[in-house]
Structure formats: C-alpha cells, structure tokens
Amino acid sequence: MKSDNGNFAFVSKEQLLDKVAFSNRSGEFQNGDHLRADVPSPKFMIIGISESIGPFANKGRLGTENAFDAFLTFFLAMPYRDTSFDILGKIVFIGFFPSKTHEAASLVEELDRFAESVLIESIGPQQLPIIIGGGHNNALPIIRWAASHRKLHSIINIDAHMDCRTPDARHSGNAFSFALIQDLIQSYVVLGVDSYSLNTFMLEFLDRFPITIVAFDEYLLGRSLNEDMHCFTGTQLPTGLEIDLDSIANMPSSAQSPTGFSLNQVRSAVLSIKKTDIAYLHLCEGAPTNTFEERMVGKALCYLVLDFMKVME
C-alpha cells in the first residue's frame, strides 16, 4: 500500500516483527510474543509513522523518522500485562528527500492524505488509536479522521509550542492552524507553552480562535499539570490527546531544549487523565539520532504508551 504519489508506503505488523529483534527471557511472555499471534478485537491499535519531512519543512531537527522503531525495540521486550492491544504497522517515507524546506510542503500534504486514509481503512469504531513517531504535522490528518469518525470536539496538547504558524505551506508547525481554520475542532488547549516562542501571528491567532494556552512559566511557579490534565479531560466530549516530546527537558526531539517538563511530570499527567471520551493519543517529535538517544526516546515512549493504556483500560 502506497500514497497517491508513491513517496510513502505502509509496512504491516508482520513485516515489522520480522525485522525487529527483541531479547527473549526464559519463562517470560513478552509483548512481542503477544503480537505474534492474532489479537481479536483489540481496544488499542498502535500505529507508527517514520518520517521527518514535516520537521524538515519547519526547519527542525531531523531524526523523527527513528522514533517509532526506537519505541518498538523496547516495547516488544517488555512483559505482557494482559492488555488488549495490537500493532497495525507503520507509515514510512520511501521517496527522495528534498534539499530545500519549501520543497517539502507538497510531500507533507501527500502524507496528510495517506495517513488519514490508513486510519479510515484500519481503525474500527470501538478502537482507540495510539499514533507514534514523525513530526507534529501528522496531527492534522489524525484530527481530520477523528472529526469525521469520532465527532472530535477538542484537542489537549502538552507542548512547548502552539504549532499555529501561518498556514501558507504545510509543515510540523501549523497542523493546528489548519485544524482551527477548517473548523475541525471546537477548542484547543496547549499546556506548557514557551511564552518566548510566540510570534505576532500566533498572538493574533489566539484572539481569533478558541485557544487556551498555559505558559510553562506558570508551572515553574507552582501550577499543577496533573490538575490541568484532569480538568481538561473531564468534559465528556470527544477529545484528542497530543504529547510533543519537545515539551520534555533534554529529550532528543525536533526542537530539543534544556527547559521543560520532566518525563515523570508528563507520565504523572497522563495517569491523571479523567477516563472519558479520548479519541486518540498522538506521541510525536521524538528525534533520536544515535544509540543513546534511541534508548532515551524509545523507553520514554514505552512508558507513556503503557501509562495511557493503564488509565484508559
């Protein structure tokens, strides 16, 4: 299965499991063992996206194409906990990587169409998708799918950035600009925004659309991320949950920063979710480029996925 212009392809679970090795432990049934058998009617469906076209188009750090594989290496080796999940497969970039950022916009649009079509064709009405890897550009096709198939109302995004840049060309920094302009969501909440990153367009955009931001400064001064997460997920309305790894201090990501939440703070926030109508979980912008970073990003993604499944089970 390929995208309309042939620059992206879908790799099935069976193909993934043939390529990714994990360490077997005698007498221990692991996630990898669970996934090698048919999984009837799984509640959680994990989907990977291995691309860095979106971050490249936004002048970000490359490496987001490696995040899902880093996750999978550690996730398969973890003990199985009797949770109803399966892996669908992953979307991969197979085209020629552009040399100029402006050339990448059409590829992002192609990925938008392909990612949405994969979700439409593969996610059942009772399944909860967990999408891992790639840039935050992929929020837009996920939102388009959820708006049509889950009656999506709002988005909660733990992120250092609003990702509401000008909608002139598609990239990882404007998925939510498009979602709001196209009236796909009724409200957008961003927790942990770097207030120094807000430009004039974003400040004006805040006044025009139903956006709530909580600056990271407020958490430095004692505001509780857990309380905010519990509050904003308690509406009983279909909500998409976005976690950008840029929000975590020193995490290898597309916009890596020395300031931000700790991983444990974000994990705690996920565990504070009020179990309600969550439409999907999207974990993006992890950008490992060496073995150490793959371990950091891979294990971080594992814990966030396991925490989410635990609280939503």
Per-residue model confidence (pLDDT) at position 74: 94
Q: Coil, helix or strand for 134?
A: coil
Per-residue model confidence (pLDDT) at position 223: 97
Residues of the chain with pLDDT under 70: 23
pTM: 0.97
Q: What is the pLDDT of residues 125-168, one digit of tens each?
A: 999 999 999 999 999 999 999 999 999 999 999 999 999 999 99
The CATH homologous superfamily to which domain 8-312 belongs is Ureohydrolase domain (3.40.800.10)
H or E segment and range at residue 282: strand 278-284
Domain boundaries, the chain: 8-312
Q: How far apart are CA 61 and CA 172, in angstroms?
A: 11
Partners of 110 in beta bridges: none
Following CA atoms 145, 146, 149, 151 in sequence, which dihedral angle do they give, to the nearest 10 degrees? Answer: -140
Q: How far is CA 1 from CA 41, 90, 94, 296, in A?
A: 23, 11, 12, 31
Per-residue model confidence (pLDDT) at position 37: 86
Tokens of residue 214, six digits: 């909580």
